[in-house]
Amino acid sequence: MSARTVAPRFASALSTQASVDSAFGEAGARVRASLQGERPDLVVAFASNALAGDREGLGRRCRAELGAEVVLGCGARGVLGDDVEHESGPALSLWAACLPGTAVRPFEVEVARDDELDAVFHGLPEVQDPARAGILVLPDPFAFPAVDWIAAIEDRLPGVPVVGGLAVPDQGGEHALLLKADGPSKAGAVGVVIEGDVEIATAVSQGCRPVGRPWVVTACDENMVLKLSGRPALEVLMEMLANLPQSEREALQRGPFIGLAVDARKSVFDRGDFLARGLMGIDKQRGGLAVADPSLRSGMSVQFLVRDPASAGEDLEHAVSSCGRARAGAESGALVFTCNGRGRRMFGEANHDAHHLRHALGEGTPVAGFFALGEIGPIGGRNFVHGFTASTAILRARA
């Protein structure tokens, strides 16, 4: 084995071999070569559900053959590796990290219900210094209330970034495959805490751009916006539609979204300040707009948004570039969790997110990821569960 590095080091490899044995043999050899014999502190594995063989044994193989004490992984419909997206068929994406001066603590979370049927979580992640910590998490979408868990983390560990994606079960399956070093997990979610000299910088691309101007909610009822800046919300929307250029009007009509400002103290906004949520319908009688989020409140600033392929690519590069490239002389690695509604079906082309990530991160940055059933990442300093989003964790030396 080589001497222990004093800077972080990362490696990734994607194999499209048909079986676990052949895919791991190919991808594992490339990871070992990239690390030049150094033992990784963390290995992450994303295995497509079409991969034949013992997928449940992948965590143990990562520990035995790559030397990782901590392994995190899951099953998926499609996976990403470097600048390639393999949306269907057999594939394995491996990613490894050597993280000097950094604690890597795995955790599993179980969920129960109390007498009021509220979620009670067991195994919440342990963090020593919230200012120097970040969390990666992979929940089972059918067995785990990810939204409630994120709310619990916000209460317990405010300001700690959480990035991840909801794993994808086999077609017709009741549970997703969740991987750890000693075998598959039966918990509702698995994850790791990264704490120390290596940070998790986050880039959440909701794929939206603003249209019109921000408005203030002056009346609402649960998830229904009734008035914007003192006017009926539906009237505001219809007036704005009439005044938009045709391309933006058509984009908003195809997929209307509204952004909810996360930071109530702000009056001037950037695109990263709004949590994108879909417009679900209208109430003609009250002149209201139904929003796919129950957290509306009077005084909240909102912004109408459009989502289209051009906006999504621009927004992804903007989100990644905003958190900065790797610092001079330091390596970085990235894990990306992108919605399985993106890819070819959204963009009409292959490798869209992977190519934009590679352009923003720089050639040679090891990248791995998968197409998720929901994405987790922070907006405006608070963690949320998203849809149609690309949420990226960039690991690099802390300043």
Please state, in angstroms and rounded to a whole number, the distance separating the CA atoms of residues 276 and 307. 10
pTM of the full structure: 0.91
Predicted confidence (pLDDT) per residue in 315-368, tens digit: 888 888 887 654 433 489 999 999 998 999 888 899 999 999 888 888 889 999
Residue 114 has pLDDT above 90, yes or no: no
Predicted confidence (pLDDT) per residue in 75-85, tens digit: 999 999 989 99
- Of 13-17, 261-265, 312-316, 326-330, where does mean pLDDT reach its minimum? 326-330
Yes or no: say if 183 and 106 are a contact pair by the CB < 8 Å rule: no
Residue 3 lies in a domain: no
Angle of helix 20-35 relative to helix 58-66, nearest 10 degrees, comes to: 30
With pLDDT > 70 as the criterion, what percentage of the chain qualifies?
A: 97
Which one of 286, 307, 328 terminates a domain?
A: 307
pLDDT of residue 4: 57
Which one of 264, 284, 307 terminates a domain?
A: 307
Q: State in Å, rounded, how far the first CA of the chain is from the last one.
A: 28
In this prediction, residues 171-200 reach a mean pLDDT of 94
In this prediction, residues 105-117 reach a mean pLDDT of 88
Please state, in angstroms and rounded to a whole number, the distance separating the CA atoms of residues 98 and 361. 19
Q: In terms of domains, do 147 and 95 share one?
A: yes
- Of 88-102, 149-163, 318-332, 365-379, where does mean pLDDT reach its minimum? 318-332
Residue 380 lies in a domain: yes
pLDDT of residue 330: 47
Query: Which residues form the domain of 74?
Result: 9-205+312-397
In this prediction, residues 72-77 reach a mean pLDDT of 96
Residue 319 lies in a domain: yes
Give the containing element (helix H, strand E) for 35.
Answer: helix 20-35
Domain count within the chain? 2
- The whole-angstrom distance between residue 240's C-alpha and the CA centroid of its chain comes to 32
Mean pLDDT for the chain?
A: 92
Which of 66, 59, 22 is closest to 41 using CA atoms?
66
Residue 247 has pLDDT above 90, yes or no: no
pLDDT of residue 2: 43
Please state, in angstroms and rounded to a whole number, the distance separating the CA atoms of residues 272 and 253. 22
